[in-house]
Structure 1
């Protein structure tokens, strides 16, 4: 994945629908049981609604994956402050955004990023086999689906 030269470079990409990027955006695999469960968890614990969510299968998600030169199987995407974060670094950034007790999980940054990303990659590559697939966003409640952009 190529890191953008400037923040918010995706705004100039005509393949990406406009979206509110004043908040972080978490782009997740909407057919993955683990990912959809994680998105629902994020919605429950993000009481201040600091993070918007969208599925990788939607128009916005697909456009962002193309823009950043990534395949869905590589990682989810976290767009914050105009920059993209993935794998373990993205989760550390997400903990920072959520604040409160989640901020403490940033202690995981003491673990070398190579090992953190290797663990993330191992789970990501096996997520369908270990956790399964479901219908698009089927594990989200109607209220949670309404939060997707």
Structure 2
């Protein structure tokens, strides 16, 4: 996790995802349905906003192999990002945060990297980033 070099004027939780990945887009839809408070906002890694946010944290904007969560001014990647996201969801999902933390990060990230490496082959790839509907558009950063 990296702190920002300057303070952000954005929502407390921003999830940067691979906008052309079917698995990633499905995960965004999953999160939208289980984040009733609307605290998690989104931007694709490929977008100008995504690249701008990553550069604020000295993170290579061309790195598209991981999900990135910016939470309260700190950057989380891979399994740490996922665990912090599920912590914000409704239902029993926050329990996954605590259970997941029982496993060492290298083990969690190994599993994450294996799925990330195969995600296009298993789930496919879109030609362009998802366009949010009018009702969820406010959750996506321009």
Q: TM-score, normalised by structure 1?
A: 0.79
Q: TM-score, normalised by structure 2?
A: 0.83
Query: Where in structure 1 are there 5+ consecutive unaligned residues?
Result: 12-17
Is the CA contact (8 Å cut-off) linking 2:36 and 2:90 kept in structure 1?
no
Per-residue Cα deviation, 1:33-66 (whole angstroms, up to 9, x for no partner) = 0001101111111111111111111111122334
More helix by share: 1
> 2:86 and 2:26 mapped to 1: Cα distance?
17
Per-residue Cα deviation, 1:106-129 (whole angstroms, up to 9, x for no partner) = 212112221110010011111111
Aligned residue for 1:40, secondary structure, equals: helix
User: Among residues 5, 8, 20, which one is paired with 1:9 in the alignment?
Assistant: 5
Query: Where in structure 2 are there 5+ consecutive unaligned residues?
Result: none
- Residues matched between the structures, number: 138
Is the CA contact (8 Å cut-off) linking 2:132 and 2:140 kept in structure 1?
no
Structure 1 pair 19–43 and aligned structure 2 pair: CA distance change class (3 A): farther
